Structures are given as structure tokens and as C-alpha cells.
């Protein structure tokens, strides 16, 4: 990835208005900023959250708080705890997320 035409700036995530996204179970709150083609999000999943779809979008995802389980469409499962990340390319491996306890993620895609 080459980042161009992006002057230095800061983001106070507490001031970014969240949008609600319902899962199959639970809710996700997204605080989103768009920088040209790069979307950056701070996402909070409620306890009991389960995504309502398989995602094929590429992400770099960092677990800030809580515990997140990510399931790949082939059945593999990965658990992220604070300080862990995963990376996946666009259209590489469909995945979906769930959390029993809730989780906060920092996502770049």
C-alpha cells in the first residue's frame, strides 16, 4: 500500500460520531474516518455480538480491548486478545467475527 496526498493530522476518536450496525446478534458501534481510499475505524462490539455476514474485505485489525473470535469460511477459528492483530487481503478468505464478552478494535481497510 502506498499512502499519498495525506497531510499529517490527528483524530480524537471520542469526538467521532458513532454509527450503529446490527449483527445477527448484538450491535457494533463504528467510529469511522475516511482518508482518500483508506477507511479507518474504531469499532466496539457489544457482548454476544455475531456478524450477520461473511466478510471478503481486506483488513488490518488490532484488538484494543476484550476478546474477539474470528471464524474463516473453511472452519478455522482464531481468538484475538488485547495487543493482537490479524491481517487479511481483499477476497482472500471470507471471515466473520463474534464476541461473548465484547471487544474494541482498531481497523484499517
What is the model's pTM?
Answer: 0.91
Strand ranges across the sheet with 95-99: 49-50, 95-99, 68-72, 77-80
Half-sphere exposure of 44 (CA within 13 A, CB side): 9
76-87 pLDDT per residue, tens: 999 999 999 999
Instruction: Describe the chain by its helix, strand, coil percentages, rounded to 5.
Output: 5, 50, 45
| Mean pLDDT of the residues in the chain | 95
Give the residue extent of every domain in the chain.
17-108
Q: CA 50, 103, 45 angle in degrees (round to 5)?
A: 45
**pLDDT digits over 92-109, tens only?**
999 999 999 999 999 999
Domain 17-108, CATH class in plain words:
mainly beta
CA angle 54, 51, 68 (to 5 degrees): 105
Amino acid at each position: 500500500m502506498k499512502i499519498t496526498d495525506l497531510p499529517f493530522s490527528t483524530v480524537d476518536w471520542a469526538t467521532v460520531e458513532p454509527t450503529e450496525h446490527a449483527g445477527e446478534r448484538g450491535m457494533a458501534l463504528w467510529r469511522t474516518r475516511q482518508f482518500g481510499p483508506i477507511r479507518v475505524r474504531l469499532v466496539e462490539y457489544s457482548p454476544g455480538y455475531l456478524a450477520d455476514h461473511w466478510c471478503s474485505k481486506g483488513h488490518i485489525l488490532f484488538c484494543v480491548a476484550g476478546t474477539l473470535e474470528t471464524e474463516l469460511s473453511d472452519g478455522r477459528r482464531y481468538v484475538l486478545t488485547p495487543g493482537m492483530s490479524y491481517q487479511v487481503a481483499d477476497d482472500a478468505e471470507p471471515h466473520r467475527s463474534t464476541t461473548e464478552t465484547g471487544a474494541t478494535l482498531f481497523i484499517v481497510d
